[in-house]
């Protein structure tokens, strides 16, 4: 078995959709980024690459590459799952913590887990998504950004 961890942060700006875990969440702002700025999926991708010791998301899907502009991060997650399979591994489980002040994520967590498990071809129950505020501290706590921490456990696919 191998473990990997991933982290991501994106800031809120006007005139962008707010997409997290492949779910479009109704909100007055969205996250800034080259792709859809899905910080949850980016942190999960980094946790998978970390477990494989294969570098980071930027090395596999460089944001300088035009083909990744505005791409759905779920597609990148699917590609990451394919790399994992090629390397002879499968995912045991994923656990993520999303840190943001608002909006409330509870109505969307199940749908996020569904999207992520479908992209990786794993069971929904093997994807845990937790929400947390930052007690009004720092950029996430003042509502300026979203931070996500993820861990992923993998094992050889025998």
Out of 4, 6, 8, 145, the only residue in the binding site for Zn ion (CB under 5 A) is 8
Binding map of Zn ion across residues 40-79, x = CB under 5 A, - = no contact: --x-------------------------------------
CA distance 6 to 152: 8
CA distance 24 to 72: 11
CB-nearer residue toward Zn ion: 76 or 154: 76
Smallest distance, Zn ion to C-beta of residue 46, A: 9
Select from 2-10, 13-21, 83-91, 140-148 the region that touches Zn ion (CB under 5 A).
Answer: 2-10
Contact 118, 57 (CB under 8 A): no
**Residues found near Zn ion in the complex (CB under 5 A):** 8, 42
């Amino acid at each position: 078995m191998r473990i990997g961890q991933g982290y991501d942060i994106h800031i809120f700006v006007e005139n962008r959709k707010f997409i997290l875990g492949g779910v479009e969440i109704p909100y007055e702002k969205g996250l800034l980024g080259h792709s859809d700025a899905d910080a949850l999926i980016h942190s999960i991708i980094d946790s998978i690459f970390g477990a494989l010791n294969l570098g980071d998301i930027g090395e596999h899907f460089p944001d300088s590459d035009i083909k990744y502009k505005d791409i759905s991060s779920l597609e990148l997650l699917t590609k990451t799952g394919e790399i994992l399979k090629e390397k002879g591994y499968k995912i045991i489980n994923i656990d993520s913590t999303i840190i943001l002040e608002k909006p409330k994520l509870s109505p969307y967590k199940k749908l996020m887990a569904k999207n992520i498990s479908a992209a990786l071809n794993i069971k929904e129950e093997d994807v845990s998504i937790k929400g947390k505020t930052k007690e009004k501290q720092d950029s996430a706590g003042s509502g300026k950004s979203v931070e996500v921490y993820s861990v992923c456990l993998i094992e050889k696919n025998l």
